[in-house]
Structure 1
């Protein structure tokens, strides 16, 4: 047989896809346990498990891509296209929850007292923690853009600094979101409003955590593997994902917090 040259590389078998899939299933199962029995430790364990495994997977991918030379322009284009499709699927994911929210928002029922939010729900002040989180997340969008700018200029130390600052702002956002949940006067089971609120803000919070982990992995790879801007594909993909998280929060803040005040 005549062998033909191609631009793809056959990678060694990897356990990470299977481990992440099992972890995702366990996360869903532990979420059901939390809702049914109030058992929270399993969901914390599974979040930690998925975070660690995802980090190891990304670092291993970086070694294959940058150190072993298993990359090409065609592969980079394929990875970027896959990321675009992934973000598109995430857009439709949040669109379904916004659709559900507007179903109740535009036509309140008798069960909610013909009011939205329902008369029994005390909503958060949109000018307090929500506005602070908005400023934090928008600032993180600026810092990740500045980090990308310095990367293109070849200023790797400044780029690393602003990337680390972006991660810090993401952690701050997650902390304030947690404090807001702790001070909430309603829960997930308090009417359709409580369910819609915690599903939208909760899933967005999970995406912020995933994005922060993505940025942490990128920062590690940035310092270990990136000797030129062309070698930092993961940085570009992480910045796309982070800007997507920013845009979703803008819609959340205006629709969930501002309109209900």
Structure 2
């Protein structure tokens, strides 16, 4: 039942938030299993579960707004503020890993010859795959901005075209990142550099995957029968998140690749 005494609607029961939370917890467990027993299948299945549950949850959320008309101006402001808080929490999340990285970068241990990275670790060439990934991700930031611009001006075909390019670039980035992992000469357990490298780039890769799902959900909404101003809001929130991912990668490229190349 919807109350008329406030500007928000009472959420109906949905199992998808609980399912998504359980999948996120299982992802961490599968990551530990992967690191301990080198079982990539369990980790891959949990990533697939997160993709499917997140996509279904966002589509149901879209139907509540577009088909049932449960959105309002105050709710839009609340969603924007929630996204700002979420991105702020993500900034502090990455800040903690950058802090750890600088701790080892500025004061390497004597056991590794006071070198960073150690002589046993062969760092990646910053002008190879990392540079390509940087160009890919920065290009995707440009295309998502153009797509948002065309969406606001009512040019849905051009908007969907540039959004499709953005999603494609996000997938290309993920594939190149996985190829780099499999071709790496060091692992997450090889010195503090290996741990810092895979933790930072790994969590960033997960954020790229989440952002790609977010953009793909927005892309699917463009072809729905009913569209509303909330389509613009969801696109705006997705573009905020995508630009945040771009900025984090610029720091990662400079600190992990350029300085250690």
TM-score normalized by the length of structure 1: 0.96
Q: Deviations over 1:47-82 (max 9, x none)?
A: 100110000000000000111000100000001100
Alpha carbons 1:30, 1:43 under 8 Å: kept: yes
Matched with 1:195 is 195
Matched with 1:30 is 30
Cα deviation for residue 229 of structure 1 reads: 4.8
Pick closer, same or farther for the CA change 1:247–1:225 going to 2, 3 Å.
farther
**1:188-227 equivalences in 2 (<5 Å):** 188-224=188-224, 227=227
Alpha carbons 1:151, 1:229 under 8 Å: kept: no
Cα deviation for residue 230 of structure 1 reads: 5.2
Q: More deviation in 217-226 or 144-153?
A: 217-226
Alpha carbons 1:66, 1:225 under 8 Å: kept: no
Pick closer, same or farther for the CA change 1:58–1:93 going to 2, 3 Å.
same
Q: Deviations over 1:81-104 (max 9, x none)?
A: 000000000000000000000000
Kindly report structure 1 stretches of 4+ aligned residues shifted beyond 3 Å. Answer: 225-231
Alpha carbons 1:59, 1:217 under 8 Å: kept: yes
Cα deviation for residue 170 of structure 1 reads: 0.4
**Cα distance in 2 for residues equivalent to 1:246 and 1:72:** 30
Alpha carbons 2:144, 2:166 under 8 Å: kept: yes
Matched with 1:69 is 69
Matched with 1:179 is 179
Q: Deviations over 1:200-220 (max 9, x none)?
A: 011111111111011111101
Cα deviation for residue 4 of structure 1 reads: 5.4
Q: Deviations over 1:213-244 (max 9, x none)?
A: 11111101122156455543111110000000
DSSP 3-state at the match of 2:111: helix
Pick closer, same or farther for the CA change 1:231–1:132 going to 2, 3 Å.
closer
**1:42-53 equivalences in 2 (<5 Å):** 42-53=42-53
Q: Structure 1, unaligned stretches of length 5 or more?
A: none
Q: Structure 2, unaligned stretches of length 5 or more?
A: none
**Cα distance in 1 for residues equivalent to 2:221 and 2:228:** 12
1:123 equivalenced with 2:109 (yes/no) = no
Alpha carbons 1:226, 1:232 under 8 Å: kept: no
Matched with 1:16 is 16
**Cα distance in 1 for residues equivalent to 2:96 and 2:184:** 24
Pick closer, same or farther for the CA change 1:194–1:246 going to 2, 3 Å.
same
Alpha carbons 2:140, 2:169 under 8 Å: kept: yes
**Cα distance in 1 for residues equivalent to 2:84 and 2:28:** 25
Matched with 2:112 is 112
Matched with 2:57 is 57
Pick closer, same or farther for the CA change 1:148–1:158 going to 2, 3 Å.
same
Matched with 2:237 is 237
